[in-house]
Chain A
Amino acid sequence: MRARVFVTLKPSVFDPQGTTVAEALHTLGYAAVKDVRQGKYFELDIDAGSAEDATRVAAEAADKLLANPVIESYRIEVDR
């Protein structure tokens, strides 16, 4: 099963890279883009019997390694 893990900086944490990307987009004329937050994306191919099992494994992986809970939060999507 394929789990997709999206890791982003917490809303309370300043994201200088995202801010710089937003400024670049404004330079290109995309004034409608109000804000950009940059993050990381992981695809996990997991040997699991159910979507619930795959989600549990992906969440453990995110808690222990993929995300740093001090500065980052994550979201998981699993194909059904």
Chain B
Amino acid sequence: MKFAVVVFPGSNCDHDAHYAAEHVLGQQAELIWHKDTSLGDADVVVLPGGFAHGDYLRTGAIARFSPIMQEVKRFAAAGGPVLGICNGFQVLLEAGLLPGAMLRNDSLHFRCEHVYVRVEQTDTPFTLSCDPQQMLRIPIAHGEGNYYADPDVVARLEKNRQVVFRYVDASGRATLDANPNGSVSSIAGICSEGRNVVGLMPHPERACELAVGSADGLALLESAVKAVTEGAFAASR
């Protein structure tokens, strides 16, 4: 199976995602320039972390006009698995593929550290291989990861079980102290109503080998492989 990793001007985790898919998982992976107009025969699309278009105006605001985003929207509408990591999550929000918006971290600090997230939902293409409530220790690196949505939108996300990851402490509790950025309801990641589009602020692709401190992030990419090979989530072409 094949991962497509979109490269925006200013992406800086594109090669991390490509490396994790190709070298750690042994799958095919292709970097796709944002001005390309085809995702080729990709089974999974990754929007990587970084600072697309310099984060000018708002994070992700300009990236949504990149030509490849029309294809990403089509792929998502057809049920294809799409993963937005950090800046990629911000792009998905600005593009309207996921609800809500990002605010500056409540501390105003750029937070770069390992955090714990709890897997709240396992029926998405990126959490299929996880256990319910499984805890993952993966890094964050962002200044604007303070997830916000109107209260009625948050209520809908909870009702539809679209909150996929929540920031927790080492014992699994979603406390204020364990929330690194002020996100409403400790939300670290969400999925679309169709469950095939997932966005999260932490970086699973940076936690795929024990040599870098944690391999917990591998579960997300392994889930994608399982989802595609078992036919649970695939774009109808």
CB of A20 within 8 Å of the partner chain: yes
B61 lies within 8 A of A13 (CB)? no
> Which applies to chain B's interface (DSSP): helix, strand, loop or mixed?
loop
Taking residues whose C-beta sits less than 8 angstroms from the other chain, chain B's interface range is 10 to 19
Q: Scoring B residues 129 to 171 as 1 if CB is less than 8 Å from chain A, else 0, what string do you get? A: 0000000000000000000111000000000000000000000
Q: Tally the A-B contacts, defined by beta carbons under 8 Å.
A: 34
Binds B, one of A26-34, A43-51, A52-60, A64-72: A64-72
B57 lies within 8 A of A16 (CB)? no
A16 lies within 8 A of B108 (CB)? yes
B57 lies within 8 A of A65 (CB)? yes
The residues of B that contact A41 with a CB separation of less than 8 Å are none
Taking residues whose C-beta sits less than 8 angstroms from the other chain, chain A's interface range is 10 to 19
The residues of B that contact A20 with a CB separation of less than 8 Å are 108
Give the residue name and chain of the A residue nearest to B108 (CB).
Answer: A16
B150 lies within 8 A of A70 (CB)? yes
Give the residue name and chain of the A residue nearest to B153 (CB).
Answer: A70
CB of B2 within 8 Å of the partner chain: no
Question: A56 to B10, alpha carbons, bound, how many Å?
Answer: 33
Selected from B101, B104, B108, B150, the residue in CB contact (under 8 A) with A68 is: B101
B148 lies within 8 A of A71 (CB)? yes
Given contacts A65-B57, A68-B58, A68-B61, contact A17 B148 (CB under 8 A): no
**From A9, A14, A20, A70, residue with most partner B Cβ within 10 Å:** A70
Which chain B residues in 79-133 approach chain A with CB under 8 Å?
A: 93-94, 99-101, 103-108
B61 lies within 8 A of A65 (CB)? yes
B105 lies within 8 A of A16 (CB)? yes
Provide 26 A-B residue pairs closer than 8 Å at the C-beta atoms, listed in order of the A residue.
Answer: A12-B150, A13-B148, A14-B103, A14-B182, A16-B103, A16-B104, A16-B105, A16-B106, A16-B107, A16-B108, A17-B104, A17-B108, A20-B108, A65-B57, A65-B61, A68-B58, A68-B61, A68-B94, A68-B101, A70-B93, A70-B99, A70-B101, A70-B148, A71-B101, A71-B103, A71-B148
**4 closest pairs, A vs B, by CB?**
A70-B101, A71-B101, A16-B106, A68-B101
Given A16-B106, A16-B107, A70-B148, 14 additional A-B pairs, CB 8 A: A13-B103, A14-B103, A16-B104, A16-B182, A17-B104, A17-B108, A20-B108, A65-B61, A68-B58, A68-B94, A70-B93, A70-B100, A70-B149, A71-B148
Question: A13 to B106, alpha carbons, bound, how many Å?
Answer: 11
Which chain B residues in 50-83 approach chain A with CB under 8 Å?
A: 57-58, 61
**From B100, B104, B108, residue with most partner A Cβ within 10 Å:** B104
